[in-house]
Amino acid sequence: MLVIAGLDPSGAAGLLADVAAVAATGARAWAVATAITAQGQGGGRGYQAATPEFLLAQLGAVLGGRERPRAVKTGMLATAVLARVLSDLLAERPVARLPLVVDPVLLTSSGLPLLDTGGLSPGEALAPLLGRARLATPNLDELARLTGSDTSTDEAAIRAARRLPSRAVLVKGGHRAGAPVDLLVEGRRLTRLPGRRRPGTARGTGCRLASAIAGHLARGKGLEDAVRQAKRFIERYLDEQATTH
């Protein structure tokens, strides 16, 4: 499968985390970089975005052979220009009909902005790409920024999710007080996916979750099954992090 995101040199998030998550599903990742970030244990310090020409060169190189990906996942896109270029490319063969998972990354955990919207709102900047997505995976803050809507309750978050143009939305509930409950919104259908809160924090869980979902989709799983299996992978990852820190 094809993963398109920023490179975090620490490996806690971004492309290195994506590749590890995809491998855990039994799929194999092609990793295309939208940006190189400067971040690590001390937080984020900045990033250098790829040019549109170089992004297209990377994609042309990995898509130019006989082998074809079976799913696509996007993470950090760096600029609205790159988001538009990518959306245009994903409308073309051989990737136009592949399941696309969009993780609409807007900020690092430490608060560093990761999307230059070029004067647009985040929702406007990502709308063309989200419109192609089988699934978007925003956290509550990202959902609020994308829609300009209240997300303070489950009911408000569900209404906001239905405003996104993607076919389905997984609203990640980890930032809400109490037990974390993710909400899978597919039109009028709603599936609540409860979890268990672990002590401490871990960077890159959103990257890993979206990549694992896409990995399972690449292997032919249905959407809800892919989401449930990816959540179990993240739960194991968090348990491992808790025992090693």
What's the whole-number mean pLDDT along residues 74-82? 98
Evaluate if residue 222 carries a pLDDT over 80: yes
Evaluate if residue 156 carries a pLDDT over 70: yes
Say what the pLDDT of residue 198 is. Answer: 75
DSSP β-ladder status, 72-74 and 135-136 = unpaired
Please, what are the domains in the chain?
2-244 (3.40.1190.20)
Evaluate if residue 117 carries a pLDDT over 70: yes
What's the whole-number mean pLDDT along residues 221-232? 97
Say what the pLDDT of residue 245 is. Answer: 61
Say what the pLDDT of residue 153 is. Answer: 93
The kind and range of the H/E element at 16 are: helix 14-24
Maximum Cα interatomic distance, the chain, rounded to a whole number of Å: 49
Percentage of residues in the chain with pLDDT exceeding 90? Answer: 83
Please give the mean pLDDT across all residues of the chain.
Answer: 94
Whole-model pTM: value is: 0.96
State residue 240 phi and psi, 5-degree precision: -65, -40
> Which of these ranges, 175-184, 189-198, 203-212, has the smallest mean pLDDT?
175-184
Say what the pLDDT of residue 200 is. Answer: 61
Torsion of CA 97, 115, 228, 222, to 10 degrees: -10
What's the whole-number mean pLDDT along residues 13-27? 97
Say what the pLDDT of residue 201 is. Answer: 67
Percentage of residues in the chain with pLDDT exceeding 70? Answer: 98
Say what the pLDDT of residue 111 is. Answer: 84
Evaluate if residue 130 carries a pLDDT over 90: yes
Q: In this structure, are residues 217 and 101 in contact, taking their beta carbons and an 8 Å threshold?
A: yes
How confident is the model over 36-69, as pLDDT tens digits? 999 887 788 899 999 999 999 999 999 999 999 9
State residue 31 phi and psi, 5-degree precision: -110, 120
Read off the pLDDT band of 202 (50, 70, 90): confident
Say what the pLDDT of residue 160 is. Answer: 98
CA 71 to chain centre: 13
